Each structure stands twice: as C-alpha cells, then as structure tokens.
A and B are shown apart, each in its own frame.
Chain A
C-alpha cells in the first residue's frame, strides 16, 4: 500500500464516517467536512505534475488476487493525472456549490455525500488502475453511485425512472466491457494495460481482436453517452444539479473517453477502431447538437450539449488513433486530433461545470428551468448571466475563450483526416469535416437560444412560482465563478496547460510513438492566419446567427416542438416488449397443471434417450446370452399384462384397487419364479397392506367418474406413454447387452462366498441387507419412520381450525 493506493481508498473510508458526522454534528453542514477531502487530494495530485511532465510514470503494485492476475496496481501518467485533477478539482468545487445548494434542514445530506464520495473514489480508481478487472470493479461502482445519486429524490417517479434507465444502459455496457476484457486476457494472458500495450501486435493479429474491441467499445460508448446509448443522460438530469454538474458533464461521462484514450495504444492503428470511433463520435456530435436545439429545459439543453461535446471528443480520439498506423514521431498531422481531444476535454469540464451550476442557480432562484417561462434575467441575476455568457460563448467556440481554441483545433484535426490517404479516406473522407461543421452550427445555435431565452427579453414574474427573484448567495457563486475564470484563463493563456498537462496526456494516449526523450509539439496559438479553420468558424457564426434570426419562422414547426428523442421510444417500447414477452412466454408454458409438466418432462426424456440411442446406434442387441423361458411363464405374463392394461379403463373404485392388488401379487409371484423368496414375502406383505390402505383412503374419496378426454389429448397421452415405455425397454436392453459385452465378474460372488465365513449367515440377501450393506437398511428404516411421522402429522395437525380426528 502506497500513498496513491490510499488516495483512491480515502473517499471510501471518508464515506463511512459521513453518517456519524451528519448525525452528531448537525449544526454544521456536512459538506464542509467533505470539502476537505477533494481539496487535499487535488493538492496531492498537483504535486505529481513535475514528475509526469518530465515523462516519468509511477507504478505501484499491490497484490489482490495474484493467482488470477488481478492486482490493484496503481499507474499514474499524464492521462491519469489529468483525469485525477479533473475529478478532485471539480469535485471540490461541486462540494462547495452543493453546500449552498442543498439545505441542511430539508435534505438527507448523509445519503448525498456518501454517494458522492463513493463515486469520487470509484472514479479515481477507474483512472488510476492499471489492471482491467480493477477498472471494471470501479467502473461498476461509478454506475451504482451514479444511479443512487440520480434517484437522490427517490420519492419522485421521474428520478427513479432516470436512475433505472442509466443503470440498465451503463451496466449493460459494463458487462459487455467485462467480456471484452476477458477476451483480451485470452489473447494476451494479462489484465495489465501496460503489458497489453507492449503486446499490441499480438492483440492485433488475433482473431478475437474485433470481438474484444467491439465489446470494450460498447462499455465505453454506453458510459460516455454515445449514439444511440445517449438516451440515459437527459433523463439523468433529475439528479440534483451538483450531481449533474459533476457526474454528467465533467467526470463520469468521460470515463468512456478515458477508456478509449487509454486503450488506443492497444487497438489504435486498425481501420475498424478508427472508423467505429470516428463515426460514432460524429453521429453523436450531430445528433446531440440537433436535439439540444429542441429542448425546453435548461438542463435538457445542457444534457444534449454534453452528449454532443462527448461525441466531439470521441471523434477526435478516433481520428487521432491513425497516428498508430504510421508509428513515427511526425505529429504535425494526426496528433493534432489527440491534442484537440485532450484540450477540449479540459475545456468542456470547465465551461460545462459552470453552465450546470448557473442553471442550478436559475432553478434555485426562480423555481423553474423551463426556458419558455424564463426571460430577461440579465438584470435580475447579473453574475449568473455573466457566468452563463462566458460558458456559452466558450461552448459555441467564440474567441477569446478556450472553446474557440479547441474548436479551431477540432476543425484542424477533422480537416487533416482528409489528408491521411489511409483507410479509404481519400474517397469520402471529405464528409467528415462537413458533418463536423454542420454540428458546430447547431452548437452555436443552441448556445444563442439558451442565452437569449433565459437572460434576454422581458422579465415576467407572473410566469414564475416565486414572488421575488434575486441573485444567488455568494457561496453558491464561488464555484461557477472559479470555473468561468478558468475558461478565460485557459482561453487567454492556453500554453499554461501545454507542457504541464496536455503533452504528458498525449504521450500517454499514444505510447511508443515517440522515441525516449522526445516530446510532442504542443503550441496552441490564437492566430494562425486566414486558415480554412478560421473561415469555418466565420461560417458557423454567420449561419448560426441567420438561423437564430429566422427562429420565429420555425419556432412552431414540429421539429422544434417535439422534445422527445426517437430512441427514447425505442427504449420504452423495447422495455415493455421484454416484460410482456417474458410474461407471455411464462404464461404459455407455466400452466400450473401437473399433467403439462409431466408431458414436458417425459417428452424430453424420450427425445434425449432416442437421440442418444440413435447417435450411438443402440441397442446393440446382437447375440444376447438369454435365459430360457419356461412354458408356464407365458401364462403368468398373460395374466399380468391383462391386469395391468385394463387399469386405466376401470371406473369403479373397488375394481381398480383389486386389479392393482392383483398386479402386485403377480409381481410377488414373479419374484418366486425368479428365486427370490425374501422379495416375494415382502412384496406379498406390502401389497396386502397397500390394498388395505387404498381401501381405507378410498372410502373417503369421491367416486371415480368416467372422464371424457378429448381424442387429441388421448392421442398425446398415448404417444407419450408408449414412447416412454419403449424407451425404458430399449434402454434396459441396452444396459443388459452392454453389461454382457463388458463382461465384468459380478461383485455378488464375494457375497456368496463370504456370507457364511465373514458374517456367519446362510441367507445371503439378509446378510447383505444387515451386514455387508447395513447402512442402506438403516436409512431405509429412517425413511419409513419419517413416512409414519408424516402420515400422523398430516392427519392430526390442523391449522385451519377444522376439527381434530
């Protein structure tokens, strides 16, 4: 256990303490205690920057289940550190914000902070682990914590719906991912990511490469809300706003991004990886930005905008993965995409966090998040308006904010894609930047829409539930102000991040491309001449404004009014369909009738036995060593078969008992003929007692009625019973013939020889029963005793209040 291990486990330990703090220190908001932890961790992780920026990595081993190759190894490089800083940094701000957002009198703060800390620890575990299984464990913990946080207000139906939906989708992806990890283990024999990257050639050459890749990507895409798994994210907006800001914009939804970035070293360089990720990212980007325009809820807009921005980062990672195809240090072209991805990752976390917090403030102060009721808040909430303006401008990609820089880099990356000349890109590669550009127009549009609908126009208090609207308390504004300040800071001085955070992260995403001692060239410039990217940005702004100006015209079209995502219908109907389908399936087979179950069982036995005999060409009855049949035996058989066959046709109770008795006595006679005196005696005795019992019971039972069975049912019964009888006969014959084929000596010779010498008895059967195999007899006695007790208690015990016998 090193300090880094403790850093991952610390939030979990703290989570245990929260309920006590909440219970015994009620006067102080529990959030203040929690706040210390992410702050300390943030400072701790900051101390690693000098190490990682000089290309150093830290690996600390801790055995967990070494026999299965599962070890809690902590691995810290540029990428892990970037995520750890995001998690702890934004975590601190979110905790601070939540202290003012959640009232200590009304809310169950103990639940909230336990879940939040659990999430924070799990997220740190995901980004700091080197072992795939450990990543999976923490991955599912984030899913669970996320669902708990979404359903924080568990009395609201929509919260529970959102939590379940996110749970189903992310756990589905998580399980697929586990399958992918297992396949990777099958290929390379290790769960360690570093060793997998070292063996990337082996993985590439394997026939399991594509299945493993798709399964892992399912995990990453569901978690990062990629198309068409994005539908859980808008419904997760039922969570408290600090949760939305933390989990559903800055950290958890980037776990998938992290995984893709981390495993680029393993899968990157293959055309499948490039195409799947790039296309999924672009489709998500476009779909998310178009859907965001249609939303009327502030958090709904932000949710779809998150989906869209995640798609942007994902497509950049896809485009950047082509770097592995060339495997050289020339980073002018494709590494730009990875640079843009990492840079935008940071930028998105800053501006999206601040925007969510601003939306939370608006909700908190006005009581609604519906943009149709809001308007003209600029003078009422000036600070919030400023924060939103900065965040939205950055999101839309306007200078001088950091979003502008990453959007320019995004365009550069996408334009570079067309110049690759690999993976068939020369033919239709031009579509990629065009789609990216269209999506950016919509991004710009929803940013303007959100701002104008919320802050501009006329302020109308009558639409709101609250009587008086005023600016949020200072404490609530601290976090968004810090984030907005970062947006401006990173916008004006992007190179602050360049070699401290971005370059190490790029080196971690693309391992093995640089020779030791080399560094990627990271220089983010504001102005690089009248490049195509700049013209694209101009185009975005102009077209976006045009669309906004003509907004009145298409405001009432079906496109704008429809809020629901098409895939929500698919999910809802699919979910209902699954439930209805399984109910239907259960209803047709679980009839509750004993007879039907008998039919299933017997049919299966018949089919399995018949198939086995057919498959192994049984019964192989060639020249069996059979005993001769005495003449009188035929007579016995005749009587026996007659007495048996008429049983089903008897409708008189006494006749039925007598016929059954007769067959039992004939069995006793058969035993006599087979030279089994003890059996014959026992059978006679027991048959007599049985007949008496039958008589006794039948006296209390109703008369048998002639049952009219439909002929179809009769035929089914007949086929099954004849088939079953046939199988038993053939099976026993096969057993007999095989016994003769193998021709082992019978064990009985020992009993015959030693019955007198060893046990001192002449009756061999009795000696076997009480001496050689006495245990059977003892337990058989137990069976009989239990039967007696059962019979007695069945008759004597009455719990329903009916009279005793």
Chain B
C-alpha cells in the first residue's frame, strides 16, 4: 500500500507542478493546495501504513501517532498560507486588474 500511496502522491505533485507553471494566478494557488495534499500523503506513506487501531490508549495496538501530529500541524499552516495567497490574489486583481502572471512583471527597466 505504501507504494501505491507514494505513486498517488507523485500524481498529485505532477498535477500541482503543471498548475504552478500556468499563467493564471488562481491555478497557481490551487496548485499549491494540491502540493500540500501530496506532502501529507508522503509523510503518511514513508512512516509506514501498518494496520492497527486508531491512536487512542486502550484501543489495542495503535498506528504511528507521530506523523499524524506532524500532518495536523501542516494542515493548519497550509490553510493559513492558502488564505493569505487567496486574499493576495483578490487584492492583486482589484488593484492591477489582471490575474495573468505574464502581465504582473513590474518595470522593464528593473
């Protein structure tokens, strides 16, 4: 199962990279969100997906709780970053009138 999940993560990274390379700001943001999912899956997979119970004392032999704690932290941080980039995109469009990255290039003299 670990192999399958890492391959799945690979597919997620592929799509996310493809989106990051696009011209539209919105697609770039969605790309980062998908990249976050991929990272979570990789953390899960490399720690081993052994069968076991939920990590609660008294339920028997639990699965590894540490990657879960790490991912939980990461989910929240990922959300914070997504929120900021979304608002940034919104403000960019409001001020500059475009969401095309090709046009957001600053001064040609710089």
CA distance A768 to B80 in the complex (A): 22
CA distance A777 to B18 in the complex (A): 32
Contact of B65 (CB < 8 Å), options: A663, A686, A764, A795: A764
B89:A641 contact, CB within 8 angstroms: no
A719 to chain B, nearest CB (A): 10
Q: Do residues B72 and A678 form an inter-chain contact, with CB atoms below 8 A?
A: yes
Q: Are B81 and A765 in contact, CB atoms less than 8 angstroms apart?
A: no
- Cβ distance B75 to chain A, nearest Cβ, rounded Å: 5
A644 to chain B, nearest CB (A): 5
Flag if B22 contacts A648 (CB, 8 Å). Answer: yes
Judge whether A746 and B86 touch: CB under 8 Å. no
Cross-chain contact A729 with B10 (CB below 8 angstroms): yes
Judge whether A752 and B87 touch: CB under 8 Å.
Answer: no
A633 to chain B: which residues have CB within 8 Å?
Answer: 1, 4
Shortest CB distance B48–A (Å): 7
B66 contact from A592, A599, A653, A746, Cβ within 8 A: A746
Interface residues on A, range: 35 or more
Cβ–Cβ contact A648 & B19, under 8 A: yes
A644 touches B11 (CB 8 A): yes
**Residues of B close to A667: CB separation below 8 A:** 37, 40-41
Q: Does A676 contact B (CB under 8 A)?
A: yes
A624–B45 Cα distance when bound, in Å, is 13
Choose from A629, A656, A701, A768 the contact partner of B4 (Cβ within 8 Å).
Answer: A629
Task: List A residues 241-294 near B (Cβ within 8 Å).
Answer: none
Q: Is the CB of B8 within 8 A of A641?
A: yes
Interface-lining segment among A164-172, A330-338, A406-414, A784-792: A784-792
Q: Is A762's CB within 8 Å of the partner chain B?
A: yes
A747 in contact with B30 given A637-B4, A648-B15, A675-B55 (CB within 8 Å):
no
CB distance from A764 to the nearest CB of B (A): 4
Residues of A within 8 A of B6 (CB): 728-729, 732-733, 736
- In Å, the complex CA distance between A777 and B73 comes to 7
Chain A 689-731: CB-based contact to B (< 8 A → 1; otherwise 0): 1100110011011101001000000000110111011101100
Nearest A residue to B97 via CB reads: A702
**A475 on the B face (CB < 8 A):** no
The answer on a CB contact under 8 Å between B38 and A768 is no
Name the A residues within 8 Å of B88 (CB-CB). Answer: 794
Distance from B28 Cβ to chain A, minimum over Cβ atoms (Å): 8
Given contacts A637-B4, A663-B37, contact A748 B77 (CB under 8 A): no
Q: How far is the CA of A701 from the CA of B53 in the complex (A)?
A: 45
Q: Is the CB of A647 within 8 A of B2?
A: no
| Nearest-neighbor residue (CB-CB) of A805 within chain B | B94
Say whether A794 contacts B81, CB under 8 Å. no
Q: Is the CB of A647 within 8 A of B34?
A: yes
A694 to B33, CA, bound (A): 11
What per-residue 1/0 map shows which CB atoms of B16-59 lie under 8 Å from chain A? 11111111101110100110011011101111111111111110
Closest B residue to A670 by CB, please name it: B41
Interface assignment of A735: CB less than 8 Å from any CB of chain B: yes
Which residues of B are found within 8 Å of A735, using beta-carbon distances? 46
16 A-B pairs besides A645-B11, A725-B17, A729-B13 with CB distance below 8 A are A648-B27, A653-B26, A667-B37, A674-B49, A675-B54, A676-B68, A679-B72, A693-B82, A697-B86, A700-B93, A726-B10, A747-B66, A765-B65, A765-B69, A791-B84, A795-B91
Sample (23) of A-B pairs whose CB atoms are under 8 Å apart: A593-B105, A641-B8, A647-B15, A674-B44, A676-B68, A676-B71, A677-B54, A690-B33, A693-B82, A697-B86, A721-B13, A721-B16, A725-B13, A732-B9, A739-B46, A748-B64, A752-B57, A764-B62, A764-B65, A768-B65, A783-B76, A787-B84, A791-B87
